[in-house]
Structure formats: C-alpha cells, structure tokens
C-alpha cells in the first residue's frame, strides 16, 4: 500500500515538474530559461527513468526472492526505436507528463521527436526481439534481454541521384538517458590462444585454454516498461573494452602508442552492427562479436545462479531458460559446455543434459544463403576449445542417436553432421542449435511446416517432439497505442480498455463495421494520418501527394525475395497505360516504399535506383496528372514506420511463396486497418484465416506450385513472350527513358530474364496485376472498403506478441507469471 501511495505521489503533475526541473538544473546544469529542446528531452526522460528504475529494482528483488525461473533472450539485434513516448504510455503517465510540460511551456509531442532511434537491428528479427521485450514485461514474465551495445546501429540511408548512400548512425553520440552502466557486473572474455590437454593426480585428462587475448564486457541496462504492469525487466547490452591489465603491461614497456592501438582494436568488437538482413557474412569480427556477447551473457547468468542460491548444477535449467534468437548466439551451446565441463568439472553427459534443457532455438529463415556456417579454420583460430567441444558433440551424436536410428548409413550422417565436409570444412550453426536445444520453433505455421519437411527433415524424424510452431506477433502498444493514439482511443471508447492487454478482446470491434457513424470516425482517423504523412513526404521528398489517393505501402528490407521489383513493374505498367490512354479511369494512388539494402547487395541497390528513377519521371510527368505518385521515403526505420503504418490503405506482402518466414509488418499494417495484397507466404496465410478471404487480396503461386514449377523447369522467357504488358514494362524500364542510360537497369532486367528469375517475379506478374485491378475497383466503394478495413483491425488480435510470448512461456520456457 505504501509503495502504491509513493507511486501516486511520484506520478503527479507537480512531482514530475519538480523532477524535470531538478534534472535540468542539477544533472544537466542548464537554466530553465535557456535550456535547449534536447535538454528538455533528456531531463524529461531522466524523470521518467527515475520512476521506472524504482520498479526495475522491485522486479529484480522479487524475482530473486522467489527464486523464479527466468528467461534470457539472446539476440544480436534489438530494434527498439524511440523510448520516451512508449515508456510514458506504458507506464500510464503520458497525460500527466504532457500536462506537466505544458505548464512549463513545453510541448511533449515535439520533445519526443528529439530522441534518436535506437536502431540496433536490421529488420524483422531485431524488431521482433524489441516487441518480445515489451510483451515479457507486460505479461509479468521474469526476463532479461541480452545483446550488444553497438556504438553504431544500422546505417543511415540517403539517396544521391536516386542511389543509396550509407552513413554511420551515431545514435548515442550525445549519450542516451535510457541506459545505465553497470560496471560492477563487468565480465572478462577470452579469445584465440591454444588448448593444452593436462592430467590431474589421478591421471584424468582435462583441457586448459591458454595464451588467450582478453576483452572486457561492460553492461549497459535499459529498463523495459510493461503496459499496465509493475514488472520492469531490463535489456542488458555489452560494450567491449580493452583489458586494463594487458594495457598496463604494454604501458610499462614504454609502448604508449601500441597500448592505445590495442585498446582501439578491442573496442571495435562492439563498434558496429553488421548491416546484413537474413544473409550471413562469415567475417571474423562477426564471430568475435557473437562469442563476446554470448560469453558475457552466460557468465552473467552463471554468476546469478551461483550467487542467488546454493543449488546443484542439475537445478540450473530450473532457474534459467535461454532462448537463441536465430543461430547468431548459437556459440552459447559449446560455451555452456566449456563452463560446465572445463571449469565446473561436470561429467560430459550431465553437462550435455543441462545444456539441452537450458537452450531453445528459434529459426527465422529457410533461405540457404542465410544459414550460418563458420569455416572450421577460422573457428579453430578464434575459439579453439569450442571447436573441440563441437567435434565431441558431433561424434557422440553421429555414433549415438544417428547410428542407432540409421545403422551404417553414411549419407544420413553426412546430412546430419554438425560439420559440412564439402568445399572446405564448415560448422553448421543451425544443426548445432537444433541439437543443443530441447525446442526448435519456426515463426509462422507454414514456415514451421517447411522447417520440418525441407530444412531439417532428418532431425525432425529423429526428434519430432522438439519442433513446434510459435507464430510471430507485434506489440499492440507501440504499433497501435503509441503510433495511432486516435484509433486506440476510438477502440477503447467502443469496447473498453482491456484489449491493449488482452488482444482477444479486439474482436468485439467487429460488429462496428456495420455502423456507419463508426466507419466515418475510423475513416477520419485514417485520413488524418494520411494528411500528416503527406506533409512528411512533402518535407523529405519534395513531392506533394493527395490524402484522398489510395496509399499503397511496401515497407521492409530490400530483398529480391520480397519482390519490390514486382511492385515496380506494375507501377511502370500503370504509367504506360496512363500515357497510352489519357482518359484512363484509375483510382489515384500513391505508391510508398521504405527499404534499406545491405551495402554489398548490388542488385537490391539497383532496384532502389530503379524505383527512384521511375518516381522521378512519374511524379513530374504532366500526362499522369496526379493519378500516380511514387514515393521512396529515405532511411526507413522504426520511427518513420510509426508514421507510415497508420496512414496505409494497402499493405504489400508479395514475397515468393515459401521465402518469407513470417513477416511482422504485415501484422502491424492490418492492425491499423490496411488491407493486404499478398501471396500465401509466411504469416499472410494466418492473416487470411483470421480476416477472411473477403477482406484480403490473395494472389500468386503457392509453395507447392513454386516447387512444381521449378521441378518442371522454370523459364521466365515464356512469361516475357506471353504477356505484352509485362514485356513492354520490362523493356521500357531497361531503356534509356528513365535515366538517359540504357545500361543502368540491365542488372535488374538480366536477373529477371537471362539469370533465370530465381524469385518467380515473371511467373506471378499477371496474377499480381489482376489482383491490383481488384484493389483499384474495391477502393471506389469507400463504405465497403472501410468495412473491410475495420474487419482487419478487429480480427488480428491473434498477432499480438503477448499471445506469442505466452506460448513461449507455456510451451518452451515453462515460465510462471509473477506479479510485482
Ligand atoms: N528477415 C524473416 O525473414 C520474420 C523475421 C522475424 C526474418 C521474417 O519473415 O518475420 O525474421 N528472418 O521472425 C531472419 O532475420 C535470419 O533470419 C527477418 O527478419
């Protein structure tokens, strides 16, 4: 009761005002009269942080006191975005803070824009981790997120003559009010060196890893505020530092410059996020990053286990669950084995049992180019002891379960081995992850089926009970309440407030689709967001667009499998039709793209350039007369997504069937009342199930049809020759019309024709165009469109990350909910 009373006092307008003023004066040393906007943003954030930290301490204390099991989410990426508004709304003090600031002459909405995005991730996988952190706190689950404190997040994208140029993202150049250093939990990490076998006095062998290089890991904690919950978990991010002792030695030898060079090298480990999405890169620094954060995190978990209780090691899994977010942290498996066997002197079989009970693994992709492997030679140099452990795990596996199941079958052993033998030996991190875990999950029903049938058929045969599906979700707090407060309020007015924490309640909104006055309000909110986005487009692209046009949105990483070029070919075709027929009656549309390409992904960059080149022509062609606009919003990220998503009418989810594991943008857009045009891929399949076929535009080849077509022998030229529309669009795009240079988009044209069109753009084109024609027609009946949009919002309650997280908690982690 007293704690509650204290909270109430702390959360009044007056107490917030005092707190903000104090931070301005004493933390920042600023005068209220002359403080900058940034000072106000920092002071406000610190005032909020004070309140939140109190809850974080309480949460930790209670979790420790009750000795509950915790989940440790290991992820190389967290795309957190901005934190101030999200934390204010989740903590239930947004209105109070707005009032407090306004009484001091400040506008909270302007201040929140001062915060740079925390963009420590590439795309879906990183944003999923951020949504999960939100749901873990909201659902009162004891959890810690572990990751890397990158000095530079995902690059900032700019266009120069329509081409992508990358700039460093110095998100914390001015510090961040949300992170707190925890120097007392610093860890030491060893790398490189050699392994010596030694014997004890009983003649028992053991391994010593020596002559290593040392790195320090400094943890930074970011509090994660749940919605309508007192649980505040933390995200702990490790920053690499040079080992002081090591430096001192060099200093003493007089080699000052050399010492500082070493220090700089050590610090590169957490310097920058690798900008590849769903593609592995195989670089030494990346392996070092992975091991660095895994070693720090496991040491932290072990420290807590040893400090909190005096339990036998067999109890470790009952206190700690560790989730591997893709294979990126999979080196945690041999690392825990090393700790248990080499340091804690456990028997191998007991250690292995603990490992499997502790870990679980989420697979996020079937793309072969994204399945991580490490060259054995590199692995051996960086982590010699871990390589030995992996070989031993592999030997026991192949000689044990595999031999028992398929005696003498060398082919099966080759398929299942942790080591790929062909073309230079490699460690298969996905195999290691499946084997070292008690659970492996896919991220949508279709993806999980393909995982079992195509990616890991033999593992599935051996261990069918270890595989399960956990369809992704998104947090409705950020992706509705924060980004679309108007719609959030309308929903709450209509069905009460419970839906933000229990998304199954959202279905109660369904009946309002038939209510004309509700539809009007729903539409007005959408239009308001379109007006606001139009302003952003004007400012960032210099193009004016009408909020009454259909806003057709494709926002995601740029990748051939996502088929932004399919969208583009359709745009080119519309453009051609308008010119050919000046009176063409089409629904005015604004095509909106947002996407970064991996800096080394040549074809993706060619597609970006092509979209920008088409945009430049279309937007300034008087013959088009505003019926078509093409907008490429630069530097796509979480914050701009929060502006685009509420303003979208149509959501493009057009990947080649079988390639998009789940997608999560598809969920956010449907939640905000955009209709999907999409293939039967990833979670689209489940969105179709939820919203019903009458409220979505589905087209294209199915997974089975794709397989069949490829088996038959796919020839894109057949489609080129058969469809005049397609042929003319491709040839026009590849002509000199758009840039003055007819070779500019040759790579794009070649990929679709002479290079075999690996993602079947040509095969799906006609069906896509036909589906788009239906969209065009449907949008003209606004009353009906609004109905469909409302059904989308009302029926996607399944895709809350709360549901996903509760499934993980129940089916994988066996985690209790703990009220703080
Ligand atoms: N690129 C998948 O491709 C999925 C997310 C989150 C991805 C998406 O379809 O929604 O993961 N895969 O599960 C990935 O990163 C390494 O694989 C993604 O974000």
Say if residue 230 is in the same domain as residue 100: no
Query: Which pLDDT score is estimated for 243?
Result: 86
DSSP state letter for 509: G
Residues designated as active site: 364, 556-557, 562, 664, 668
Distance 689 CA to ligand 1 centre (A): 21
Say if residue 207 is in the same domain as residue 101: no
Supply the ipTM of this predicted assembly.
0.98
**What average pLDDT does this structure show over 660-677?**
98
Summary mean pLDDT of the chain: 96
pLDDT by residue (tens digit) across 151-190?
A: 999 999 999 999 999 999 999 999 999 999 999 999 999 9
Q: Is 164 in the pocket of ligand 1 (CB under 6 A)?
A: no
The answer to whether residue 250 scores a pLDDT higher than 70 is no
Contacts of residue 79, Cβ cutoff 8 Å, sequence gap at least 6:
118, 119, 120, 121, 122, 123, 126, 127, 129, 130, 154, 637, 638
pLDDT by residue (tens digit) across 58-80?
A: 999 999 989 999 999 999 999 99
Instruction: Round to whole Å and give the CA distance between 179 and 128.
Output: 20
* Residue to mutate, 662, 685, 804, ligand 1, most ligand atoms under 8 Å from C-beta: 662
Query: Which pLDDT score is estimated for 247?
Result: 61
Measure the CA dihedral 469/472/476/480, to 10°.
-140
* Residue to mutate, 121, 131, 154, 278, ligand 1, most ligand atoms under 8 Å from C-beta: 278
Query: Which pLDDT score is estimated for 596?
Result: 98
Q: Determine the longest span between alpha carbons in the chain, in angstroms.
A: 94
Whether 612 is in a domain gets the answer yes
Query: Which pLDDT score is estimated for 9?
Result: 56
Given a contact cutoff of 8 angstroms between Cβ atoms, the answer to whether 578 and 586 are in contact is yes
pLDDT band at residue 1, thresholds of 50, 70 and 90? Answer: very low
Nearest to 746 by CA among 736, 761, 760, 757: 736
Q: What is the domain-level CATH number for residue 661? A: 3.40.50.2000
Q: Is 325 in the pocket of ligand 1 (CB under 6 A)?
A: no
Instruction: Round to whole Å and give the CA distance between 726 and 721.
Output: 9
Angle at 714 between CA 711 and CA 715, to 5 degrees: 160
Distance 278 CA to ligand 1 centre (A): 7
Query: Which pLDDT score is estimated for 505?
Result: 98
Query: Which pLDDT score is estimated for 278?
Result: 84
The answer to whether residue 4 scores a pLDDT higher than 60 is no
Query: Which pLDDT score is estimated for 54?
Result: 86
How many other CB atoms are there within 10 angstroms of residue 406's CB atom?
17
Q: Is 340 in the pocket of ligand 1 (CB under 6 A)?
A: no
Cα of 721 vs its chain's centroid, Å = 40
Query: Which pLDDT score is estimated for 758?
Result: 98
Helix (H) or strand (E) holding 585: none
Is the pTM value of this prediction over 0.95? yes
Distance 691 CA to ligand 1 centre (A): 23
**Lateral strand order in the sheet of 675-678:** 628-632, 589-594, 550-555, 650-653, 675-678, 697-698
pLDDT by residue (tens digit) across 528-547?
A: 999 999 999 999 999 999 99
Q: Is the dihedral of CA 501, 502, 505, 509 positive or negative?
A: positive
Q: Which atom from ligand 1 is nearest to the alpha carbon of 557?
A: 1
Whether 818 is in a domain gets the answer no
Instruction: Round to whole Å and give the CA distance between 177 and 385.
Output: 40
DSSP state letter for 339: I
% of residues, the chain, pLDDT over 90: 92
Say if residue 292 is in the same domain as residue 424: yes
Helix (H) or strand (E) holding 359: strand 359-362
Say if residue 253 is in the same domain as residue 339: yes
**What average pLDDT does this structure show over 697-710?**
98
Query: Which pLDDT score is estimated for 245?
Result: 67
Q: Is 129 in the pocket of ligand 1 (CB under 6 A)?
A: no
Say if residue 294 is in the same domain as residue 410: yes
Whether 59 is in a domain gets the answer yes
First to last CA, the chain: 13
Nearest to 755 by CA among 571, 602, 648: 602
Given a contact cutoff of 8 angstroms between Cβ atoms, the answer to whether 488 and 480 are in contact is yes
Given a contact cutoff of 8 angstroms between Cβ atoms, the answer to whether 338 and 389 are in contact is yes
**Range in 233-242, 280-289, 610-619, 720-729 with the lowest mean pLDDT:** 280-289
573: helix, coil or strand?
Answer: helix
Extract the tokens encoding 432.
Answer: 């290691």
Distance 662 CA to ligand 1 centre (A): 7
660: helix, coil or strand?
Answer: coil
Q: Which backbone phi and psi does 341 adopt, to 5 degrees?
A: -85, -50
* Residue to mutate, 324, 365, 471, 560, ligand 1, most ligand atoms under 8 Å from C-beta: 365
Query: Which pLDDT score is estimated for 254?
Result: 74
Whether 279 is in a domain gets the answer yes
Extract the tokens encoding 787.
Answer: 């109905």
Strand partners, 441: 362, 468
The answer to whether residue 621 scores a pLDDT higher than 80 is yes
Instruction: Round to whole Å and give the CA distance between 272 and 162.
Output: 26
The DSSP line for 250-292 is HHHTT-HHHHHHHHHHHHGGGTB----SS-----HHHHHHHHH
The answer to whether residue 707 scores a pLDDT higher than 50 is yes
Say if residue 455 is in the same domain as residue 560: no
Q: Is 217 in the pocket of ligand 1 (CB under 6 A)?
A: no
Domain that holds residue 372: 69-80+117-472+806-813
Query: Which pLDDT score is estimated for 259?
Result: 79
Bridge pairing between strands 320-325 and 675-678? unpaired
Say if residue 464 is in the same domain as residue 525: no
Say if residue 402 is in the same domain as residue 364: yes
Instruction: Round to whole Å and give the CA distance between 246 and 262.
Output: 9
Say if residue 58 is in the same domain as residue 97: yes
Whether 197 is in a domain gets the answer yes
Give, to the nearest 10 degrees, the angle between helix 256-267 and helix 244-252. 160
Rg (CA), the chain: 27
Instruction: Round to whole Å and give the CA distance between 580 and 94.
Output: 53
Query: Which pLDDT score is estimated for 716?
Result: 98
Instruction: Round to whole Å and give the CA distance between 384 and 378.
Output: 9
Strand partners, 190: 214
pLDDT band at residue 458, thresholds of 50, 70 and 90? Answer: very high
List strand residue ranges (DSSP E) for 727-781, in order. none
pLDDT by residue (tens digit) across 291-310?
A: 999 999 999 999 999 986 78
Domain count of the chain? 3
Question: Is 758 buried (19+), middle (13-18) or exposed (0-12) by CB count in 10 A?
Answer: middle
Nearest to 509 by CA among 596, 501, 665, 518: 518
pLDDT by residue (tens digit) across 29-50?
A: 999 999 999 999 999 999 999 9
Given a contact cutoff of 8 angstroms between Cβ atoms, the answer to whether 460 and 441 are in contact is no
Say if residue 343 is in the same domain as residue 456: yes
Instruction: Round to whole Å and give the CA distance between 73 and 78.
Output: 11
How many other CB atoms are there within 10 angstroms of residue 119's CB atom?
26
Say if residue 189 is in the same domain as residue 242: yes
Question: Is 620 buried (19+), middle (13-18) or exposed (0-12) by CB count in 10 A?
Answer: exposed
Distance 124 CA to ligand 1 centre (A): 5
Given a contact cutoff of 8 angstroms between Cβ atoms, the answer to whether 448 and 469 are in contact is yes
Give, to the nearest 10 degrees, the angle between helix 761-780 and helix 724-733. 100
Say if residue 295 is in the same domain as residue 218: yes
Whether 442 is in a domain gets the answer yes
Given a contact cutoff of 8 angstroms between Cβ atoms, the answer to whether 187 and 299 are in contact is yes
pLDDT by residue (tens digit) across 335-347?
A: 999 999 999 999 9
**What average pLDDT does this structure show over 581-588?**
96
Whether 819 is in a domain gets the answer no
Q: Is 682 in the pocket of ligand 1 (CB under 6 A)?
A: yes
Contacts of residue 325, Cβ cutoff 8 Å, sequence gap at least 6:
73, 74, 75, 76, 77, 125, 128, 129, 362, 364
């Amino acid at each position: 009761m007293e704690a509650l009373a204290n909270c109430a006092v702390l959360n009044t307008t007056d107490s917030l005002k005092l707190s903000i003023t104090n931070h301005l004066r004493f933390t920042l040393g600023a005068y209220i009269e002359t403080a900058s906007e940034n000072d106000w943003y920092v002071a406000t954030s610190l005032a909020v942080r004070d309140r939140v930290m109190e809850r974080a301490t309480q949460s930790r204390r209670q979790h420790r006191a009750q000795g509950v099991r915790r989940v440790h989410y290991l992820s190389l990426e967290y795309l957190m975005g901005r934190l101030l508004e999200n934390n204010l709304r989740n903590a239930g003090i947004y209105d109070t803070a707005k009032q407090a600031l306004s009484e001091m002459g400040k506008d909270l909405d302007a201040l929140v824009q001062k915060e740079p995005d925390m963009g420590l991730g590439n795309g879906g996988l990183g944003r999923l981790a951020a949504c999960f952190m939100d749901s873990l706190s909201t659902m009162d689950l004891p959890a810690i997120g572990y990751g890397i404190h990158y000095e530079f997040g995902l690059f900032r994208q700019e266009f120069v003559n329509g081409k992508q140029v990358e700039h460093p993202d110095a998100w914390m150049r001015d510090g961040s009010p949300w992170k707190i250093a925890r120097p007392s939990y610093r860890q030491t990490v060893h790398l490189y060196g050699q392994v010596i076998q030694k014997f004890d006095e009983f003649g028992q062998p053991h391994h010593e890893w020596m002559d290593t290089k040392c790195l320090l890991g400094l943890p930074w904690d970011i509090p994660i505020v749940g919605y309508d919950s007192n649980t505040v978990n933390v995200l702990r991010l490790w920053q690499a530092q040079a080992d002081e002792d090591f430096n001192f030695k060099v200093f003493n030898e007089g080699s000052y410059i050399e010492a500082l060079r070493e220090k700089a090298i050590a610090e590169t480990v957490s310097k920058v996020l690798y900008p590849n999405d769903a593609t592995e890169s195989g670089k030494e620094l990346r392996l070092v990053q992975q091991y660095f954060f895994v070693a720090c995190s496991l040491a932290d978990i072990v420290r807590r286990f040893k400090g909190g209780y005096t339990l036998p090691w067999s109890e470790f899994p009952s206190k700690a669950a560790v989730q591997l977010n893709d294979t990126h942290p999979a080196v945690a498996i041999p690392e825990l084995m090393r700790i248990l066997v080499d340091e804690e002197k456990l028997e191998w079989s007991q250690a292995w049992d603990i490992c499997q009970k502790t870990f679980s693994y989420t697979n996020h992709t079937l793309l072969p180019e994204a399945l991580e492997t490490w060259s054995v030679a590199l692995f051996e140099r960086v982590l010699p002891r871990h390589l030995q452990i992996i070989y031993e795990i592999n030997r026991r596996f192949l000689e044990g379960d595999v031999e028992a199941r398929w005696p003498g079958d060398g082919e099966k052993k080759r398929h299942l081995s942790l080591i790929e033998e062909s073309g230079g030996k490699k460690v298969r991190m996905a195999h290691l992850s499946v084997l070292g875990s008690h659970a492996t999950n896919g991220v949508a029903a279709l993806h999980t089926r393909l995982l079992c049938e195509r990616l890991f058929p033999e593992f599935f045969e051996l261990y069918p009970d270890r595989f399960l599906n956990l369809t992704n979700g998104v947090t409705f707090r950020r992706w509705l309440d924060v980004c679309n407060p108007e719609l959030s309020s309308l929903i709450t007015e209509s069905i009460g407030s419970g839906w933000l924490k229990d998304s199954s309640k959202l279905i109660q909104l369904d009946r309002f689709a038939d209510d004309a006055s509700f539809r009007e309000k729903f539409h007005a909110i959408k239009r308001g967001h379109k007006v606001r986005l139009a302003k952003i487009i004007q400012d960032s692209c210099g193009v004016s667009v009408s909020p009454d046009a259909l806003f057709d949105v494709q926002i995601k990483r740029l990748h051939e499998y996502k088929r932004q070029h399919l969208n583009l070919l359709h745009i080119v075709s519309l453009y051609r039709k308008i010119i050919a027929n000046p009176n063409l009656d089409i629904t005015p549309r604004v095509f909106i793209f947002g996407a970064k390409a991996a800096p080394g992904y040549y074809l993706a960059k060619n597609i970006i350039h092509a979209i920008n080149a088409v945009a430049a022509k279309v937007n300034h062609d008087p013959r088009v007369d505003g019926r078509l606009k093409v907008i490429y919003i630069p530097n796509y990220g979480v914050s701009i997504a929060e502006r685009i998503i509420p303003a979208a009418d149509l959501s493009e989810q057009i990947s080649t069937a079988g390639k998009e594991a789940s997608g999560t943008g598809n969920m956010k857009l449907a939640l905000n009342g955009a209709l999907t045009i999409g293939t039967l891929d990833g979670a689209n399949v489940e969105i179709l199930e939820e919203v019903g076929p009458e409220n979505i535009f589905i087209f294209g080849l199915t997974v089975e049809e794709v397989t069949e077509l490829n088996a038959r022998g796919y020839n894109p030229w057949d489609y080129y020759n058969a469809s005049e529309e397609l042929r003319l669009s491709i040839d026009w795009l590849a002509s000199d019309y758009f840039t003055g240079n007819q070779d500019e988009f040759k790579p794009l044209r070649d990929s679709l024709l002479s290079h075999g069109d690996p993602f079947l753009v040509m095969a799906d084109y006609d069906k896509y165009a036909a589906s788009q024609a239906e969209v065009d027609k449907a949008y003209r009946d606004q009353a009906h469109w609004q109905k469909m949009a409302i059904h989308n919002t009302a029926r996607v309650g399944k895709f809350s990350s709360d549901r996903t997280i509760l499934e993980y908690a129940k089916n994988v982690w066996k985690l209790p909910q703990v009220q703080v």
